[in-house]
Structure 1
Amino acid sequence: MRKRFSFTATAGLAALALAAGFAAPAKDAQAETWKFALEEVDGSVQDAFAEKFAELVKEKSGGDITVSIFPYGQLGTSGDLTELVQTNAVQITNASPGHLGSVVEEMQVFSIPYLLSQNDEATKKVLDSADVIYDDLGDSLRKKGLEILTMYPEGEMVWTANKKITKPADFDGFKMRTMTSPLLTEAYKSFGATPTPMAYGEVYSALQLGTIDGQVNPIFAIQEMKFYEVQSHMIWAGQQEFTTSVVTGNDWYNGLSEEKRQILDESIEEATDYIFPKQREYNKERLEKIKEAKPELEMIRLSEEQRDVFRERAEQVRDKYVEMTGEDGKRILEKLTKAFEDAEAEVTN
């Protein structure tokens, strides 16, 4: 697939040219470089995955292939990164399902609250290998020039706010920052909030200035971006694990030699195994840093009864997803729901 670059994507490509010596590689060059762009900053969970992946690729290729990592902001927005991969300017990128939903609408299924399992082992089983992800959704992505390599969670999504929130009524008039995902917008509408889509890099100042009242992210991101500094509460509602995908352009992927594709696939698989426990470790460590930096921050974990109220509201989001995506989306939702149910049954027996 070939797409016309937007202005920002063109700027990202220009930055890539300056930062990485962007040019056609010489045919007889001994080594090659794979460019890996992140949606997050240096030191993030995505960065940990990319660093491990780079280490594995270097080892498996005997140093013939290196991986250059570009943290958030260097090459543009998440949408720009997807375009850069589609056009083979970047080989690999992270792409959150919310953003990929603008390419393949059905990918927004991962934005439905209370869909993923609360059991890490069951979640890994589904995100690692479920046919509904790598065949059904994968086929739709291939038609858009993308190949999905893996998915993994980055931690439970936690609300930060400037007041206590334990029920939907507490969200009345509350401006909650969301990613630019139509279904996430619907999710927070269903919870009673006023969803406010905004770029990641703008969130801190918007919280500081009162343009928004709160945001939702995994703990490590709340700590890295210092969102806790300008908020008074952190709330665990159990509504979602933040998941990311790793994608490449299928032209580039299909053009790899058998040996290089094996290096890529094996490195992705091993990095995925590595990141599941690593992200738990990251989030635990970052929570302790938040507590140490701001001990007066109030931390609230909703009871199951309180969560059930939000869970019931989330049924509206499932209905909206099917309305938006039609029969294909309904089939994806049913298959994914069953995949999580089957995985939970398997790991608990």
Structure 2
Amino acid sequence: MTLVDIPSPRIDTRATAPERAASGHASGPVPYRALLLGGRLLADVTTPTRQQPIADALAAALAARTGHGVDVQTSHDPSATAVADLLASDRDVSRLDALVVVLAPRRDGRTPAETRERLATVLADLTARLTVASALVVVVPSPLASGLTRHELDGFSRTVAEAADALVRVVRLEDGDPSLTPEERAALWAGDIAERTAGALVEPMVRFAPDDPFDEFLRVDAVERIEGRYGVPTAEFQELVELARSTYGTAAAAMSLIDDERTHYFARTGGVAESLPRGKTVCNRVMRLYGGLIVGDAALDPRLSALPEVRTRDVVFYAGYRIEGPDGAPLGALCVFDDAPRVVDDADLAPLRDLVIRAERLLAR
């Protein structure tokens, strides 16, 4: 018997039902962003969104070890399919702080040497897609997750270790106490993954990333679908806006959706207009940023100083965080502002990010 992994799409041999990708979030300043491929091997098969426990647990474990917020996105595909799709696509992964890949061994006709050579090639290709500051972490699943014996996994772990270069972190998972609940086992596995991942992280990419590129036509289509469902503000979104204003103690707050021409403030408080020309709003600028923006005096920020609402000093202090759809398309922003300057820090964005995550979950229903 030999062990092999990618690119066969048959890696995960357990019975599967249609499932959605999951996202996990942990509160904190200046968030790290991680992508988990092959997480379905670590999933709780008893839940509808099976990867939600491991996504939540990994976000919490990384946040606890770094002191930063964390966003974890999963793929609903097996690791082989997900990795092959990533390498074949034009997807921009340069803004990822960590790429975590669960490599699932399986019985195949390849020799260990052939497997090692293939793995080395794939890991090199993945490394080339990331920036030098991104962490690549390879996870070898436990006997319970993989359905293989400890002896079989020992052989596969050696093959992975030989294929990985010095910059790739390799994690071998164990099952722990047999009496653990799925949530407890997810926390155990997430802790082991986070321990290795945290040591490879540097400053979050959000500090350095330029404007985020996106397909404008697809983005507008996503906005129009949302506007069709939420043309009239709902109490839940209005509650988030009111909470944002009270949290920051500002005169105004708003949640916007931005189409091809206008910024529509579909939930607002503090005298905010119902809509404005897109190019004249701070929210339009924030939507293009990876993450959020907070400024103590907008007139001193060259990205904002020429905007009409900044020049009139209606907007002086401003904090905004972009709202994304399930596919990552920027839809608009949640913002708070008033006409008095403040001393601010990036960490002050954390509460706004938490509210945006709640809004995104509402929009995805």
> Relative contact order: is structure 1 or structure 2 higher (C-alpha 8 Å, sep ≥ 6)?
1
TM-score using structure 1 length:
0.27
Return the index of the structure with the highest Cα Rg. Answer: 2
Which structure has greater helix proportion? 1
TM-score, length basis structure 2:
0.26
